[in-house]
Amino acid sequence: MAQASTARLDVTKILSNRAKSIDASGIRKVFDLAAHLKDPINLSIGQPDFPVPDALKVAAIKAIEENRNGYTQTQGCPELLGAIWRRLGHEVGWAHGQDGLSAIVTSGTSGALVLGMMCLLDEGDEAIVPDPYFVMYPQLAALTGGKIVLCDTYPDFRMTAARIEKLITPRTKAVLVNSPGNPTGVVLSSREMSDIVDLCAAKGVLLISDEIYDEFTFSDSREHGRFPTPAAFTKDCLLIRGFGKTYGCTGWRLGYVAGPHDIVQSIAKLQQYTYVCAPSMAQYAAAHAYEIDMQPWVDRFERRRDTVLEAFAGLTEVARPGGAFYAFVKVPERTGLTASQFVEKAIERSVLVIPGKVFSTRDTHFRLSFAAKEETLAKGLGVLTEIMRG
């Protein structure tokens, strides 16, 4: 009988260039760096600190107990799709089938972004995204073969039509906006959205709106009581929304895409051979999501936002977050520190925040999440402002 070989497989020779080109999330690296800390003050994670509403828990459990655990249709279960269309009809006047509109439920908004970009980008095609960006955006290049073009939005973090127009080339297929934004929390106005819609229409470019934080828009950024969205001005855009951030069920991995039928159907084809469908019990539960009033939590987060702004007033620059639960805080030049160095000092004092270079080509800011209890936030702010004062 032949002896087993002791030779080990050289994995580096068989990994794809795609896999090699993607680095581990910088957020995870901060977690690893802080793993030795006991009871850290965690202002780093984009995870809501409230529990999933009881009504959604009950609905999910009921779906499981009623054996609704098999595959749903690739597009999503009819109950959830119906709820989505009722919400879109109320908010922006969109209706299923009207003007060629369609929708599909996806495995989180990340699943929507991956499949959407796979449908749009061939080798060398371009998509414009904001800088600072959600950490996933640049990696869409490696996943699709396309090119991600960064739109510098410093210092106010507003992705305007004027800033976008300079970057459009004959290879541009899409412009991706994220409002409220991660990591900045900045919310674009209806006028800014309208200008981007007009630009994309004139250039024949698809506008994609990542609106994962749409429900978490604060009172001073809503217009006429509504969240500013390009969907109010055009049906020729791809609208991406989700449930995880709004209802505290991030682990359920549930989002959706609505927009032009042909694009949505192309996403559906890819979903058939990748994710198949979003988790079934989560879909049946989320069909009841819009019956729940989350405004008390939004108001609470708005007060936390105000606490953050008050803490840094006179010390440094913070673009006013109009939504989500992040602030992108500039490290004062007088400290002589990069954002990464500042974060290391904060970690030494058991406070976790994320350096700006994780979200940007620059290392001048850090992201602070105020999805933390008020007492935790106050302690963390005390340490961070003390470091700034030296």
pLDDT in tens, 125-170: 999 999 999 999 999 998 999 999 999 999 999 999 999 999 999 9
- Among residues 193, 194, 198, 190, which one has the least CA distance to residue 225? 190
CATH number listed for the domain at residues 54-291 = 3.40.640.10
Q: What is the C-alpha to C-alpha distance for residues 95 and 102, in angstroms, rounded to an integer?
A: 8
Could you tell me if 270 and 67 are in contact, meaning their C-beta atoms sit under 8 angstroms apart?
no
pLDDT tens digits along 318-351:
999 999 999 999 999 999 999 999 999 999 999 9
- Among residues 366, 375, 379, 384, which one has the least CA distance to residue 44? 366
Give per-residue burial for 101-121: e unless 16+ CB within 10 Å, then b.
bbbbbbbbbbbbbbbbbbbbb
Return the percentage of the chain with pLDDT > 70, whole number.
95
Give Rg (Cα) of the chain: 22
Bridge partners, 42 (sequence order) = 352
Instruction: Tell me the pLDDT band of 2, cut-offs 50, 70 and 90.
Output: low
Q: What is the C-alpha to C-alpha distance for residues 372 and 113, in angstroms, rounded to an integer?
A: 27
pLDDT tens digits along 76-100:
999 999 999 999 999 999 998 888 9
- The number of residues in the chain equals 390
Residue 92's pLDDT is 95
Phi and psi at residue 242, to the nearest 5°: -150, 180
pLDDT tens digits along 214-243:
999 999 999 988 899 999 999 999 999 999
Q: What is the C-alpha to C-alpha distance for residues 43 and 368, in angstroms, rounded to an integer?
A: 6
Domain ranges of the chain: 17-46+294-389, 54-291
Domains 17-46+294-389 and 54-291 share a fold: no
Residue 87's pLDDT is 96
Confidence (pTM)? 0.93
Instruction: Tell me the pLDDT band of 33, cut-offs 50, 70 and 90.
Output: low
CATH number listed for the domain at residues 17-46+294-389 = 3.90.1150.10
Average pLDDT of 343-364?
95
Question: Picking from 18-27, 37-46, 80-89, 184-193, which range would have the lowest pLDDT averaged per residue?
Answer: 18-27
Could you tell me if 382 and 358 are in contact, meaning their C-beta atoms sit under 8 angstroms apart?
no
**Cα 356-216-266 angle, rounded to 5 deg:** 85
Q: What is the C-alpha to C-alpha distance for residues 91 and 150, in angstroms, rounded to an integer?
A: 30
- Among residues 106, 73, 77, which one has the least CA distance to residue 259? 106
